[in-house]
Amino acid sequence: MSGKIDTTVEPPKNQAKDTTVGNYFVSNYPPFSFWQKEGVADFRAALERPPKPGTPLGLYLHIPFCRKRCHFCYFRVYTDKNAAAINGYIKAATQELELYRKYPFIGGRQVEFVYFGGGTPSYLSVDQLTQLTTEMKRTLPWDAVREVTFECEPGTLTQQKLKVIHEMGATRLSLGIENFDDHILEINGRAHRSREIERAYGYARELGFPQINIDLIAGMVEETEDNWKHCIKKTLELSPDSVTLYQMEVPYNTTIYKEMKAEGKLVAPVADWETKRRWVREAFESLEAADYEVGSAYTAVKDKSKTSFVYRDQLWAGADLLALGVASFGHINGTHYQNQHDFGPYVNDLLDGNLPVYRALTPGSDERLIREFILQLKLGVVSCQYFNEKFETDVLERFAEPLQQLKNWGFLSVDGDQIQLNRDGLIQVDRLLQEFFLPEHRNVRYA
Ligand code: SF4
């Protein structure tokens, strides 16, 4: 590979102009559909082994409750659980952590990062949050924790709740704003409105969280050019520490797809991919003009020296992730696993004193290499030396074909040790990653 871009550009094979049904975002490898019940025995064996020296340990907890189900949502969420059910869930999750604590894979490690994802972690009440985090810290202390991320829906945040989230040690508050326009929020099924954004953001700033992140989605239903510009303008006015930009996708289990199916439509009622990519490109340019730096396919950061992404960077470099909660995805000692994906079986397993693991997969060494390589490609730059040292593999050789392909399309170059995506490649990286997959993993349903 040379650093020059080949000019014989052909379109990527899996290029669809319109937004049709299916997953775009690649969060793991091999695809989840290859994780099977039969793999759980290997997962149990992985728990019994001590950790590979130098492997960091992180904790993820899925809080599956939301005020409303957004029409584009494909996560496991519940909008009908009362306080008693939520208390039962908290008890189950803390019991789950307690069960894991005793296994050799912990190996005396301290937790380095914690992530509360959802669903809506900020849906929990002040008392529930206090009880949950006190219990978690009692079981596996947070003394060595470098980052605690907490996802929030603006309309669930009161000043008092934010104070508790701050006191429990959240370093990174991630606000799921998605859009600043009330009509667009409403038509996409979001529970919050713009006035709640301003209020929550103000409280959070006053409390002095080390990092506040804003999530936006390019291409929500009825998104227009003017609206997107307005969203970027509002974001710049708030001046968050980081901004995460997603491109609207329409997976199978979304309300949008159900409506498309009922009406016999193949194309989703959202902007096409070219438009969404342009919106993200323009947003990145506006953020760069305001001194933000683009740090990955999805993020722009105000001050790189103060803003880190421990969860992302550790995970993309093969850290162990002890994932708790219904439908959570984790990775321990070389084995991927997912928990029971329904509320009842998850809680019942724990009531019976069993780990609620539903399916697992132990990737081979080549699959582990592919996983790390494609995840790190989302940063826009990959170091060949890193892979040489960790996997004893020359990635320029191993991935010669797909790298050449991306080069031919005009998205990629190699400069010494570094494989680099240009901006065009970066903002469509997820659909390019399939080129690196093993043949049996391509064009499959991802979930
Ligand atoms: S708030 Fe997030 S997790 Fe909850 S329904 Fe909406 S998109 Fe899904």
Question: Can you list the domains of the chain with their CATH numbers?
Answer: 1-30+365-447 (1.10.10.920), 32-314 (3.80.30.20)
For 45, the token pair is 């064996």
Compare 343 and 1 and report the one with higher pLDDT: 343
Question: 133-189 pLDDT, tens per residue?
Answer: 999 999 999 999 999 999 999 999 999 999 999 999 999 999 999 999 999 999 999
Report the candidate in 253, 260, 248 with the shortest Cα–Cα distance to residue 222: 248
Q: 3-class DSSP state for residue 387?
A: helix
Q: From the CB of 217, is ligand 1 less than 6 Å away?
A: no
Q: From the CB of 69, is ligand 1 less than 6 Å away?
A: yes
Report the candidate in 279, 156, 273 with the shortest Cα–Cα distance to residue 216: 279
Is-cis flag, bond preceding 119, omega within 30?
yes
Tell me what percent of the chain is helix, strand and coil, each rounded to the nearest 5: 40, 20, 40
Q: Please give the share of the chain, as a percent, with pLDDT higher than 70.
A: 96
Find residue 114's DSSP bridge partners.
Answer: 59, 148
- Residue 173 backbone dihedrals phi, psi, to 5 degrees: -100, 120
Q: To test ligand 1's pocket by mutation, which of 120, 124, 196 has the most ligand atoms within 8 angstroms of CB? A: 120
For 115, the token pair is 């992530």
Query: How many angstroms is it from 56 CA to the middle of ligand 1?
Result: 29
Ligand 1 atom nearest the C-alpha of 69 is: 5
Q: From the CB of 118, is ligand 1 less than 6 Å away?
A: yes
Query: How many angstroms is it from 72 CA to the middle of ligand 1?
Result: 8
d(CA 383, CA 418): 5
Non-local (6+) Cβ contacts of 29 within 8 A are 363, 367, 370, 371, 374, 375, 437, 441
Buried b or exposed e, range 251-269, using 16+ CB within 10 angstroms: beebbbbeebeeeeeeebe
Q: What is the DSSP letter of 122?
A: G
C-alpha dihedral (402, 403, 408, 411), degrees to nearest 10: 110
Query: How many angstroms is it from 86 CA to the middle of ligand 1?
Result: 17
Q: From the CB of 66, is ligand 1 less than 6 Å away?
A: yes
Question: 187-232 pLDDT, tens per residue?
Answer: 999 999 999 999 999 999 999 999 999 999 999 999 999 999 999 9
Q: From the CB of 177, is ligand 1 less than 6 Å away?
A: no
Q: From the CB of 175, is ligand 1 less than 6 Å away?
A: no
Query: How many angstroms is it from 6 CA to the middle of ligand 1?
Result: 42
Query: How many angstroms is it from 9 CA to the middle of ligand 1?
Result: 38
**Which amino acid residue places its CA nearest to atom 3 of ligand 1?**
119
List the 418-421 sheet strands across, edge first.
381-383, 418-421, 412-415
Q: What average pLDDT does this structure show over 69-77?
A: 92
Q: From the CB of 178, is ligand 1 less than 6 Å away?
A: no
d(CA 215, CA 231): 11
Per the prediction, the chain carries an average pLDDT of: 94
Query: How many angstroms is it from 371 CA to the middle of ligand 1?
Result: 26
- Residue 360 backbone dihedrals phi, psi, to 5 degrees: -155, 165
Query: How many angstroms is it from 77 CA to the middle of ligand 1?
Result: 7
Angle in degrees, CA 392, 397, 403, rounded to 5: 120
Question: 344-385 pLDDT, tens per residue?
Answer: 999 999 999 999 999 999 999 999 999 999 999 999 999 999
Query: How many angstroms is it from 134 CA to the middle of ligand 1?
Result: 26
Compare 10 and 426 and report the one with higher pLDDT: 426
The pLDDT of residue 2: 34
The pLDDT of residue 5: 33
What's the one-letter identity of residue 398? R
Q: From the CB of 120, is ligand 1 less than 6 Å away?
A: yes
Q: What average pLDDT does this structure show over 262-285?
A: 93
pLDDT of 15 higher than 70: no
Q: What average pLDDT does this structure show over 9-19?
A: 63
Q: What average pLDDT does this structure show over 413-423?
A: 97
- Residue 79 backbone dihedrals phi, psi, to 5 degrees: -115, 5
Q: From the CB of 215, is ligand 1 less than 6 Å away?
A: no
Instruction: Decide: 122 and 150 in contact? Cβ < 8 Å.
Output: yes
Ligand 1 atom nearest the C-alpha of 74 is: 8
Query: How many angstroms is it from 83 CA to the middle of ligand 1?
Result: 19
d(CA 143, CA 339): 27
**Which amino acid residue places its CA nearest to atom 6 of ligand 1?**
70
Ligand 1 atom nearest the C-alpha of 178 is: 7
Ligand 1 atom nearest the C-alpha of 118 is: 3
**Which amino acid residue places its CA nearest to atom 7 of ligand 1?**
73
